[in-house]
Amino acid sequence: MNNTLAFFLVIIGTIVLVFWRRKKISQTKTIELPFSDDDRKILEHQVAFYQTLSQEDKTSFENRIQGFLSRIKITGVGTSVEPLDRMLIGASAIIPIFHFPQWKYSDLHEVLLYPTTFNQKFSQQGENRDVLGMVGDGAMNDIMILSKIALRNGFANSMDRNNTGIHEFVHLIDKTDGITDGVPEVLLTHQYVLPWIQAMHQNIAEIAKQHSDINPYAATNQAEFFAVVSEYFFERPDLLKERHPDLYSLLEKAYAEPKEPERK
């Protein structure tokens, strides 16, 4: 083969490769439809957090939900997934990390929606079906399970400080640093970690003595404490600030202020 022929073959090969890759990229790209008025109505009527945002932030919230829903699969198991469920799952994902525009739930692949509660073995039948939501482990590592009833109830009552969707996404955020331990190192600057751990221990002791208005489930362990108190923070920030200013201030630092760069 002479040099000219070899040169042309390389050029043609490169062109074919570039076109083939472009075609592949365009095939895998998700087509994003404009945010529909029906979806916007759901947010306006069901999501109290959205109602408090400025117009600019509302648009940003919608875009973030759309981006999330284009990446994460939502599958109904024994139930249908309706537009309301997709919006509420999207809102649950975005509310906690709204102040972190670059945040991607890279550990999450799919959300399974179950009609009602289930047990620790993901069964919808039998005893101990008191689980409302769960972040998977092991073989289920990139899966989240949510009960449709619990998801919807969480948003239907925005005053009761309970929101299962937000609770499960907070567990996922907590898990980002490798351990689900109630200490979200991705959100908290180092100097606030110790005060946060002390505040958790103190409040868990108060709950045990029945001296607290925080849902007693928070006393299960640190991870549950962080998830339950985050529900409180996002649903009733005013009340948390009034009754637990220490927790409010630390959670505000975690969720609303960009983490300061660590000093080595």
Q: How many C-beta atoms surround the C-beta of residue 77 within 10 A?
A: 14
CB of 171 to Zn ion, least distance (A): 6
Which CB, 171 or 244, lies closer to Zn ion?
171
**Dist. CA 61–CA 223, nearest whole Å:** 27
CB of 227 to Zn ion, least distance (A): 5
Backbone angles phi, psi at 78, to 5 degrees: 75, 15
Mention every residue, 6+ apart, whose C-beta is less than 8 A from residue 93.
65, 68, 72, 105, 165, 169
Q: Which two structure tokens, joined as six digits, stand for 173?
A: 């955020």
CB of 196 to Zn ion, least distance (A): 18
Q: How many C-beta atoms surround the C-beta of residue 160 within 10 A?
A: 14
Which CB, 173 or 227, lies closer to Zn ion?
227
CB of 220 to Zn ion, least distance (A): 8
CB of 180 to Zn ion, least distance (A): 9
Binding site for Zn ion (CB under 5 A): 224, 227
Which CB, 79 or 215, lies closer to Zn ion?
215
**What would the DSSP string read from start to end of 188-222?**
S-HHHHHHHHHHHHHHHHHHHTT---S-GGGGG-H
Which CB, 42 or 170, lies closer to Zn ion?
170
Sheet holding 110-114, edge to edge: 73-76, 110-114, 143-147, 133-135
Which CB, 43 or 144, lies closer to Zn ion?
144
